[in-house]
A and B are shown apart, each in its own frame.
Chain A
Amino acid sequence: MKLFWKIFFTTMIVSIACFSIGSYILINSGFQNSLQREVNLAYSENDVLRYSLNEELKNFSETNLYLYDRFKEKKESLKKEELIRGGASSVKVYASYGEFFFRITNKDLKTIYYNFNKNIENKIISSLSKNVKGYEIVKADNKYYVHAIVPFEIDKDIFYLENFRDASEVFQNRNRQYTTYMYIIIIMIIISMVVLFITSWLLTKPIYKLSKATKQIAKGNFKERVYANGYEELEELSKNFNLMASNLNKMIETLREANMRQETFIGSFAHEIKTPLTSMIGYADMLRSKKMNQENVVLSANYIFEEGKRVEALSMKLLEMIILKKQDINMKLISAKEFFKQVKGIMYPVLKKANIDFTISAEDCILKIEPDLMKTVCINLLDNSRKAICNECGSIILSGKCINDGYLITVIDNGKGMEQSELSRITQAFYMVDKSRARVQGSTGLGLAICSEIVNLHGAIMTFKSKLNEGTCVTIKLKGVDDA
C-alpha cells in the first residue's frame, strides 16, 4: 500500500472515529439525561395523581398518607373498585402541556379505570410489589411514553397507578441531533477527503521526487539531484540525499580512475615483459636454428642473459611494490645527519662517476622513519636525477630542513625536467617520461611508484615541481617525531 493512501486513510479513520465516538457520547449522554428527567417527571406526575386520587378517596386509607374516614359508613357497601373508578373519573390533572394520562390496575392486572385510549400492556406490573415501583419506555402510535407504575394501598388491597408521560420530544430531539450529525459527518468526510488528499500529496511529493532521483541514480545518472522545500525534515533528507549522491559520484569516479590505472598497469606490465621476452626468444631461436660462430653465440647468449636480468629486476621491483602495499613498517628514530651520511655513502661514487656535482646540506634532527625504506626513496630520487642530467655540468642538491611540524627532504637537479602535464602521472607504475632512453638506462618505470608507496606508508607527502630543460625539484614532507 502506498504511503499516500496510508496517510490518507489513517488520518481519515482516526478523525472520523474520534468525531463519531465523541458525538455519540455527547448525544447519548444528553438523551439519557433528558430521558431520566422525563422518568423523574413521570414519577412526580404519578405522585400528583395519587395525591389527587387520595383527595377523592379520603375515606380509604393509603400507607402513610391521609387517613380519612368521613365517608366510611356511606361507602362501605360499595365495591372498592367502583369507588376508585368513580373517584378517578372526577379527577383531572392539567399541566401547561395538557392533561395527565393515567390508568388504575388491580393486582390481577385488571384495568379499573383509564383516561388514555392507547393499547399499552401492563404485564410488567407482575414484576412489581407493594414497595417497588417501576417504569418502562413504550411506543404507541409513533409516540414514545414513559410508563410509570407506582403501587398504592387501599384497605390492605394493592392497586397500581400507571401514568403515561409523552417523551416523544426526547426521542425526536435525539433523532434531530443524529440528523444534524449525519449532515455534519458527510460534510466533514468530503472536506477531510479534499484536505487530506492535498496534505498527503504535499507530504509524499518530495518522497516521489526522491524515489525518481534514486531510480535515475540506479540507472547510473549520478548527477541527479532533489530539491524538496516546505518541510524541514524533508529538506534535510533531500540535502543528505544530494550529499550521498555527490559522494557516490566521487567514489564512482575514484573507482573508475583506479580501474583505468589498473588497466594501464596491466597493459604496461604486459608490454614491459613482452619486449625483453621477444629479444630473448629471437636470440634463443637463432641459437637453436642457425649455426653461428663462437663469437656470435656468446653475443646472443649475453643478450639473452642481459634481458633475463632485466625481467628479473622487473619482477623483483614488482614484488617489492606488492610487499610494500601489504606491509606494516617498523619506524625507528634516527639522526638526520646519520641518515644523509648513509645515503651519501651509497650515491656519491655513482654520481662522481657520472661527473655530477653532488651537494648535501642537512639540518640535524631526529627522524622517525624506516631507514632502509626511506633510503630506497632517496636513492631512487637521486638516481632519477642522475638519469635526467645529460649535460656536462650537472648538479644535484640533497637537503634536509627542520620545519615546525616535521622535516623537509628536498632533491633538486638541473636536468632536463619535464612538462607540467607529466607530473601527475610519474608515480604511476611503468610510466616513463622517455621510454626508449629509460630502457637503455635500465629503468623499469616502477621506481617512483615504489617511492610513492613508501612515502604513503610514512604518512608523508611527496610533491614534484619541474620545468622543461631547467630541472626538477622533489620535496618530501615527513611528519614530526611526535606526530609520526
Chain B
Amino acid sequence: MNKIRKYIINILLAFVVLILAFMPISISKIEEKNILGKLHTEDVKARKPIDNSLTSVEDKLELVVRYQKKDQNIVMIEKEKEELNDKEISSLVIRELKKMQTLNIFPNISLKDDIEIRDYSAQIFMDKNKPQGVVSILNICFSYDKYNFYVNMDANTYKIYEFDVYSKYQIPKINVSLLAESISKYLDVAVDKDSGYNYYDSKIYTLKHGKIKYAYSEDNNYSNLYLLIKEI
C-alpha cells in the first residue's frame, strides 16, 4: 500500500512537471480567446492638418523611392479621378516640358498644346508615421505627333519628376554633360558632386548623398529620366 502511494506521488509529480512545461501554451490559448472580440477604446486626439508645402522636393522624391523600395511605412493612395480636366493637364504638361527643353533635360521635340491625353491618375504618397508630409503625383500618359509620352508630375508644383518618351522614329538627343546642372536648376535641388557616372547605358545622378538616384538613358527611339530603385 505504502509502495503504491509512493508510485502515485511520483506519477503526480511527473504530471506537475508536464503541466508546468505545457502551461504557457495553454495560457496563451486561453488568452487568445479573451483577446478576440474585446473592444479597446481611447479618445480621438486632435489631428494635425496635412500641409503639402512643408515637403521639399528631395523629401517628396525620397517618399516615392521609399514606397517603390517597399518601405512598409509608406502608403500610396490611388485616385481614379482628379479635379483637373484634360485641357488643364495638357497645358500644364506642355508648359513644364518646354521648360525642361530650355534647360536641356528633355529632348528637343516640337510640342504644341493639342496633345491627346490617353490616361491619367493621381497618386498620393504618405509616411504613416509622419502623415503631415505628403506628395501627390499625377501619372499622365499621352501621345503627340509620332511620339508617346509618359510623365510623373507633382500635382502641387507641376514639376515633372520622371518622363519616358518613345517612338519608332528618331528622337533627338540631349547634352548629357550638362544634365546634372540642368536637373539641379529645374528641380531646385543640389545634385551630389560625385554623380553623373555611367551604369550600363545610363547616366546616374544622385541627390541627398546618394539616397535618391536619377537615371537617364537615351537611344534613337527612346529617352527617359526616372528614379532608380535598385542599389548599385
Which residues of A approach B to under 8 Å, CB–CB? Answer: 1-2, 5, 9, 12-13, 16-17, 20-21, 23-24, 27-28, 31, 35, 39, 41, 44-45, 47-48, 51-52, 55-56, 64-66, 90-97, 100, 124, 127-128, 131-139, 150-151, 171, 174, 178, 181-182, 185-186, 189
By a CB distance below 8 angstroms, the chain A residues around B124 are 52, 55
By a CB distance below 8 angstroms, the chain B residues around A96 are 67, 70-72, 74
By a CB distance below 8 angstroms, the chain A residues around B28 are 24, 27-28, 31, 174, 178
B25 touches A189 (CB 8 A): no
Given contacts A48-B126, A91-B77, A93-B77, contact A17 B41 (CB under 8 A): no
Q: Does B160 contact A (CB under 8 A)?
A: no
Report the bound CA distance from A97 to B70 in whole Å. Answer: 8
A95 touches B74 (CB 8 A): yes
By a CB distance below 8 angstroms, the chain A residues around B31 are 28
By a CB distance below 8 angstroms, the chain A residues around B10 are 1, 5, 9
B75 touches A93 (CB 8 A): yes
Contacts beyond the supplied A9-B16, A48-B128, A95-B75: 19 A-B pairs with Cβ under 8 Å = A9-B14, A13-B20, A24-B28, A28-B28, A35-B35, A52-B77, A52-B79, A55-B77, A64-B49, A92-B78, A94-B75, A94-B76, A94-B78, A134-B40, A134-B41, A134-B42, A136-B37, A136-B40, A185-B21
- CB A63 to nearest CB in B, in angstroms, measures 9
User: What residue in chain A is nearest B121 (Cβ atoms)?
Assistant: A92
By a CB distance below 8 angstroms, the chain B residues around A171 are 32
- CB A233 to nearest CB in B, in angstroms, measures 26
B17 touches A12 (CB 8 A): yes
- CB B120 to nearest CB in A, in angstroms, measures 14
A-B contact pairs, 18 of them (CB 8 A): A1-B6, A2-B6, A9-B17, A20-B20, A20-B23, A44-B129, A45-B128, A51-B50, A52-B77, A56-B79, A90-B81, A92-B77, A92-B78, A93-B77, A124-B39, A136-B39, A137-B37, A150-B44
Report the bound CA distance from A132 to B43 in whole Å. Answer: 4
Report the bound CA distance from A478 to B49 in whole Å. Answer: 115
Interface residues of B in 13-69 (CB under 8 A from A): 13-14, 16-17, 20-25, 27-28, 31-32, 35-44, 46-47, 49-50, 67
By a CB distance below 8 angstroms, the chain B residues around A151 are 44
User: What residue in chain B is nearest A44 (Cβ atoms)?
Assistant: B128
Q: Which 8 A-B pairs have the closest CB atoms?
A: A24-B24, A96-B70, A44-B128, A134-B41, A92-B78, A52-B77, A9-B13, A124-B39
Q: Which of A92, A133, A138 contacts B37 (CB 8 A)?
A: A138
Which residues of B approach A to under 8 Å, CB–CB? Answer: 6, 9-10, 13-14, 16-17, 20-25, 27-28, 31-32, 35-44, 46-47, 49-50, 67, 70-72, 74-81, 124, 126, 128-129, 131, 134
A133 touches B70 (CB 8 A): no
- CB A149 to nearest CB in B, in angstroms, measures 9
Report the bound CA distance from A90 to B21 in whole Å. Answer: 53
Given contacts A55-B79, A56-B79, A94-B78, contact A13 B13 (CB under 8 A): yes
B24 touches A90 (CB 8 A): no
User: What residue in chain A is nearest B50 (Cβ atoms)?
Assistant: A51
By a CB distance below 8 angstroms, the chain B residues around A65 are 47, 49
A16 touches B20 (CB 8 A): yes
A17 touches B20 (CB 8 A): yes
- CB B199 to nearest CB in A, in angstroms, measures 25
User: What residue in chain A is nearest B69 (Cβ atoms)?
Assistant: A96
Report the bound CA distance from A124 to B23 in whole Å. Answer: 32
By a CB distance below 8 angstroms, the chain A residues around B17 are 9, 12-13, 16, 189
A41 touches B76 (CB 8 A): no
User: What residue in chain A is nearest B6 (Cβ atoms)?
Assistant: A1
Report the bound CA distance from A31 to B126 in whole Å. Answer: 27
A133 touches B42 (CB 8 A): yes
By a CB distance below 8 angstroms, the chain A residues around B39 are 124, 127, 134-136
- CB B168 to nearest CB in A, in angstroms, measures 34
- CB B14 to nearest CB in A, in angstroms, measures 8
Report the bound CA distance from A45 to B76 in whole Å. Answer: 11
Q: Which of A17, A138, A174, A178 contacts B36 (CB 8 A)?
A: A138
- CB A187 to nearest CB in B, in angstroms, measures 11
- CB B212 to nearest CB in A, in angstroms, measures 18
- CB B104 to nearest CB in A, in angstroms, measures 35
Report the bound CA distance from A95 to B79 in whole Å. Answer: 14
B9 touches A1 (CB 8 A): yes
